[in-house]
Amino acid sequence: MALLEGAAPVAFILTADRIRAKPFYAGVLGLRMVAEDDFAVTFELGNGAVIRLTDLPGHVAREHTVLGWNVPDIRDSVARLTASGITFRLFDGSGQDEDGIWTAPGGAKVAWFTDPDGNVLSLTQFG
């Protein structure tokens, strides 16, 4: 067995203001908060995986995706998140459709959105 095989992952998302970002992850995305301390708020992602939303004063988000979800029906997921107030990102010249969904050459479909800090999150439906 590989050293970390079977170990549940912990992802870290940096935020300039955890108090401002927390309602987005709990309310808009509907993630269940499992812990909070002076350093981070932890949300359950499922299958034992969690994210820790961690304060970093002066944090500035970058243009790369920091966290994504594999979804069974990307159109349904995009529609549901759009109804909850999320705006999906459109990239000029990328070939995304009217819902902001891009189809990769291999058939995967991807859509991107951001959290209150501008961290890029994504949905992917694999071929």
Q: Write down the pLDDT at residue 92.
A: 85
Q: Write down the pLDDT at residue 47.
A: 87
Q: Write down the pLDDT at residue 5.
A: 85
Instruction: Compute and round to an integer the Cα radius of gyration of the chain.
Output: 15
Topology of domain 9-58, per CATH? 2,3-Dihydroxybiphenyl 1,2-Dioxygenase; domain 1 (3.10.180)
> Would you give per-residue pLDDT tens digits along the chain (127 residues)?
578 888 999 999 999 999 999 999 999 999 999 999 999 999 999 888 999 999 999 999 999 999 999 999 999 999 999 999 999 999 888 899 999 999 999 999 999 999 999 999 999 999 7
| Domain ranges in the chain with CATH number 3.10.180.10 | 9-58, 61-127
pLDDT in tens, 5-21: 889 999 999 999 999 99
| CATH architecture type of domain 61-127 | Roll (3.10)
